[in-house]
Amino acid sequence: MIFSAFGKAVMQLSDPRFRRVLWLGVALSIALLVGCYAGLLWLIEAIDPGSFQIPGVGPITWLGDLLSWGSLFVMLFLSMFLMIPVASAITSMFLDDVANAVEDEYYPHLPKPPAVSFWDAARDTVNFLGVLIGANILALALYVFFPFIAPLIFFGLNGFLLGREYFQIAAMRREGREGAKELRQKHRGTIWMAGCLMALPLAIPLVNLLIPVLGAATFTHIYHRLAGTSR
């Protein structure tokens, strides 16, 4: 079921609605990361590192340059771990379009679900973004202490988070928030395994940017199989 759902999602990547959501997610994610870096630079300027002095030596004029360049490398390092979580969270605001495209193609016998309001989508996005970023930052510490199982931690954690979120988005459209939660808990093992499949390409540059769209499409298929609404 999982691989069949994933295959159908890949086959539909040429759909214009898929591409629109993909580029929106990538563009907004890059803008957010650039904004965070600009805020970090502003904070460094506000601290005014050039005002620091060492008794007997004088002002440390090079400290500001060191912090600025250091912040650049820090942001580049963090972006390797946070780009996909951020893209996944932001793209989740537009995944209703992906689910609609999947249902138009594969489940035309079903009635149209009620549209998700912008504010509900924005609230879920903020919550998802906070959980994803917080969990992945905490995982950085685990990578240091347990380097030999770091890949397992990365894929297991992100598989759980991606599966939980994408299934919730797919199911909530037709089951409501509580109904989606009950269905997710009932099939948590299948959903986690499917989420781990979504997490595998996260280590492949450029390919990993497709994961939010592929994940939404894959879990739409999985939801319909689990709910018994597919033909």
pLDDT value at residue 152: 87
Please give the tally of structural domains in the chain.
Answer: 1
CA distance 107 to 11: 15
- pLDDT, position 136: 77
For residue 137, being part of any structural domain is answered with yes
Helix (H) or strand (E) holding 48: none
188, amino acid identity: R
pLDDT computed for residue 49 by the predictor: 47
Residue 72 lies in a domain: no
Tokens of 137: 């930052």
33 occurs within a structural domain: no
Angle at 158 between CA 157 and CA 162, to 5 degrees: 125
What pLDDT, on the 0 to 100 scale, is given for residue 37?
Answer: 67
The domain in which residue 220 lies consists of 2-27+80-227
Give yes or no for a contact between 221 and 102, defined as CB atoms under 8 angstroms apart: yes
Give the amino acid at 13.
L
Q: Is residue 42 part of a domain?
A: no
Per-residue pLDDT of the chain (231 residues; tens, 9 = 90+): 888 888 888 888 888 888 888 787 777 767 776 777 677 666 656 665 444 444 444 444 544 454 555 555 666 555 555 555 666 666 666 777 888 889 888 888 888 887 766 677 667 777 777 777 788 778 888 888 888 888 888 888 888 888 888 888 888 888 888 888 889 889 989 999 998 888 887 767 667 777 788 888 899 999 999 887 766
In 3D, which of 86, 3, 2 has the Cα closest to residue 37?
Answer: 86
> What is residue 192's predicted lDDT score, i.e. its pLDDT?
92
Is 61 contained in some domain? no
